[in-house]
């Protein structure tokens, strides 16, 4: 139904407000810059399995000022392409094939607490959304977490974590690392003044310093059942 509005007696500001409201409802097109931002977010999710932070998005786009990146994110949110949940970006309607699943191997238990020597192949697999794996399908595996040293990173005892097999990681990323005694642990990697630290996300646990970093995998996603 089309509503006819008599504008001749309306206040000019009221007219402008109504016109803008109508335009905003109809016009969902993206500017060239907004398309670039949206494509960058989609590519990041496909590669990593989770959404980028504002700073990560800025680095990918070559935009130094986080406020400028956030402005584009707000525009995409107003136009219905993004939403924010718990401080994270969510792509609305992405991925389109929601029923598209892939199987990845469940290789064992990685202790997110005091390191234990438990990292065995279970001969099992789990189904995950294809968009969480992307082009890295052959390098993705799944672990079940034991312990609570990463609870402040929203990884709790019993959660299943997706990892990418890699030996190259950046400071600040969450990794499963093999320690000098052969045990494995899930922690956040920090490199500070030549030191290699495996840092928990729980103040009740102390960081571990290692002489040599042996990465088993990098965390790319989290599976949780409520």
Task: Answer for the pair 159, 109: CB distance below 8 angstroms, yes or no.
Answer: no
Ranges assigned E (strand) in 31-139: 82-85, 88-91, 101-111, 124-129
Tell me the C-alpha distance between 144 and 151, whole Å: 14
Tokens read off for 127: 């189904």
Angle (CA) 80 84 89, round 5°: 95
Catalytic pick from 121, 187, 211, 225? Answer: 187
The string of DSSP codes covering 154-204 is: T--TT-EEEEE--S---TT-EEEEE-TTS-EEEEEEEEETTEEEEE-SSTT
* CA separation for the pair 151, 126 (Å, rounded): 23
* Cα–Cα distance for residue pair 185/111, rounded to 1 Å: 5
Active-site pick, 149, 183, 211, 225 = 149
- Token digits of residue 91: 């792509």
149 is an active site residue? yes
- As a whole number of Å, the end-to-end CA separation of the chain is 43
Which two tokens mark 176?
A: 């499963």
Catalytic positions are 149, 187
């Amino acid at each position: 139904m089309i509503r006819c509005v008599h504008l001749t007696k309306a206040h000019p500001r009221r007219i402008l407000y109504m016109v803008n409201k109508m335009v905003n409802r109809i016009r969902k097109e993206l500017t060239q810059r907004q398309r670039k931002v949206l494509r960058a977010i989609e590519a990041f999710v496909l590669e990593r399995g989770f959404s980028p932070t504002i700073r990560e998005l800025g680095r990918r786009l070559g935009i130094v000022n986080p406020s400028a990146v956030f402005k584009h994110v707000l525009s995409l949110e107003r136009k219905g392409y993004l939403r924010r949940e718990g401080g994270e970006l969510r792509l609305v309607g992405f991925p389109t094939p929601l029923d598209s699943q892939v199987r990845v191997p469940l290789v064992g238990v990685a202790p997110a607490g005091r390191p234990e020597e438990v990292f065995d192949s279970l001969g099992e697999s789990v189904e995950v959304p294809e968009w969480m794996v992307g082009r890295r399908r052959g390098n993705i595996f799944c672990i079940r977490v034991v312990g609570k040293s990463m609870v402040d990173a929203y990884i709790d005892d019993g959660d299943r974590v997706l990892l990418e097999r890699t030996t190259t990681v950046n400071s600040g990323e969450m990794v499963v690392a093999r320690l000098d005694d052969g045990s494995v642990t899930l922690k956040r990697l920090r490199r500070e003044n030549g030191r290699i630290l495996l840092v928990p996300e729980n103040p009740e646990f102390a960081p571990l310093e290692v002489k040599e970093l042996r990465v088993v995998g990098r965390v790319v996603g989290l599976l949780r059942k409520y």
